[in-house]
Amino acid sequence: MVNQWIQQAAERRASDIHLEPTEDDRLRVRMRVDGDLRAVETVADGRKVMARLKVMAGLDVNERGMPLDGRVRVQTSSRGPIDLRMSTTPCLGGEKAVLRLIDNSRLGKTLEELGYTKRMLAAYKPIVELPYGLLLHVGPTGSGKTTSLYAVLTTVNKPEKNIQTVEDPVEYDIPGVTQTQVNHDQGLTFPKVLRALLRQDPNVILIGEIRDDATAEIALEASMTGHLVLSTLHANEAVGAVVRLLDMGMTPYSIAYSLRSVIAQRFVKKLCTSCRKQVPQTDEMVRLTGSDRPVFEAEGCKDCNRSGFDGRQPLYEFLPMTAGMKKAIYQDTTPDHLQAVALKSGMISMFADGMEKAFAGVTTVEEVLRATKGVKASAGPAAPAGPPRPRLAGPARPGAPNGAGTRPAVRPATARPAGAPRPPRPPAR
Ligand SMILES: [Zn+2]
């Protein structure tokens, strides 16, 4: 039964299998396909099924009171060997397990194959080829930002370069790259690994995610001292990355000096290419999209299980750090101001990227509007404003009486690696 679910998940290109206890030791099974959870079945003997899963993933069958984490490689008929990452959490009625299917077919994909438009690549590729600087990819969990990051890494992966990564966890094995997994239980944290690998003469450093001040500080310093640093950050839109770095105590100077670009991303459903067809926009759509070009829709066919959609692809927002943006970081870092400057100084908004894809038949206008809802209003539809954000400019900053330019008084202890040069500091302003 467990094997069948995995085979089925592989065939349907599911990203996750969810198993959760219901009443009477039964287990509800669902799969996430194209971003939505779909019911599969509810089965008896939940504990036995859970035990079987734990044995497969090399976990302790008798441990039911603590969260566990394991992985297993399974041979599938449709897609060959696939890796599964399994996590369990104790809950009412037993344990919930989620099996994530690690899609190795995403590995080695180029940025073109991931849906980056020609226009965006023309702007992004020269930045990727710079020898140093910080490139950030942001988005919600499961938005494919790690896949994007690996695609960037693939383009710079050459024998003459030393590429090292620190990840949590290492999901894909990339030939030619030294990958290190953090281990919190053993104190092997992001900052600790980073300080060590900076002593190993790296050209390119990939940091799985910037989660804390210490990691952010090392990332910025490394990118200012001759390394290309690639990383992800939790932010909903591209300018949110700048706000987040300031919030972590980074100075406007170090951000302006090191950050080269931010790409935000979010998935939309892809139209089925067998049954999509071009249609004129309704008046309401024209009002929302600001264009009367024809778009696409699909009614469903046997190729797409009557859904009209087949797979997913991200929309991207590309923010280059222009002179205008750098200036804005010193002056007024309220998200609204940064967003306005970003749009004025050449940012390709997620909405603009989405509409380009809607006109090309990749997705529908509805999907673009759904995915960009909550993203800050840009050229196009009147998107509802997001939740209020803390104002970061000016004297409101703790420990920074003169506003931007000074560090908060209290900093976590971040010992500098021996011999690592301190980057130049900004003159007092
Ligand atoms: Zn179809």
- What is the distance between the alpha carbons of residues 67 and 51, in angstroms, rounded to a whole number? 14
Q: What is the CA(72)–ligand 1 centre distance, in A?
A: 34
pLDDT for 173: 83
pLDDT for 299: 93
pLDDT for 169: 85
pLDDT for 421: 46
Q: What is the CA(17)–ligand 1 centre distance, in A?
A: 25
Q: What is the CA(352)–ligand 1 centre distance, in A?
A: 26
pLDDT for 279: 96
Q: What is the CA(371)–ligand 1 centre distance, in A?
A: 21
Judge contact between 137 and 259, C-beta under 8 A: no
Q: What is the CA(31)–ligand 1 centre distance, in A?
A: 21
Residues of the chain with pLDDT under 70: 105-107, 374-429
Sign of the alpha-carbon torsion through 110, 115, 121, 125: negative
pLDDT for 376: 59
How open is the CA angle 226-230-235, to the nearest 5 degrees? 130
Q: What is the CA(114)–ligand 1 centre distance, in A?
A: 21
Residues across the chain: 429
pLDDT digits (tens, 9 = 90+) for 227-284: 999 999 999 999 999 999 999 999 999 999 999 999 999 999 999 999 999 999 999 9
pLDDT for 172: 81
Q: What is the CA(428)–ligand 1 centre distance, in A?
A: 62
pLDDT for 353: 97
Q: What is the CA(353)–ligand 1 centre distance, in A?
A: 24
Which one, of 177, 172, 183, 178, lies nearest residue 100 by Cα? 172
Q: What is the CA(41)–ligand 1 centre distance, in A?
A: 25
Q: What is the CA(269)–ligand 1 centre distance, in A?
A: 13
pLDDT for 381: 43
Q: What is the CA(116)–ligand 1 centre distance, in A?
A: 23
Q: What is the CA(380)–ligand 1 centre distance, in A?
A: 29
Q: What is the CA(294)–ligand 1 centre distance, in A?
A: 19
Cα 66 to chain center, whole Å? 28
CA distances, 271 to each of 75, 118, 313, 367 (Å): 30, 20, 10, 10
Q: What is the CA(364)–ligand 1 centre distance, in A?
A: 14
Q: What is the CA(307)–ligand 1 centre distance, in A?
A: 7
Q: What is the CA(313)–ligand 1 centre distance, in A?
A: 16
Sign of the alpha-carbon torsion through 142, 143, 147, 149: negative
Q: What is the CA(376)–ligand 1 centre distance, in A?
A: 33
In sequence order, the 6+-apart residues with CB closer than 8 A to the CB of 193 are: 166, 180, 182
pLDDT for 106: 66
Q: What is the CA(286)–ligand 1 centre distance, in A?
A: 25
Q: What is the CA(57)–ligand 1 centre distance, in A?
A: 37
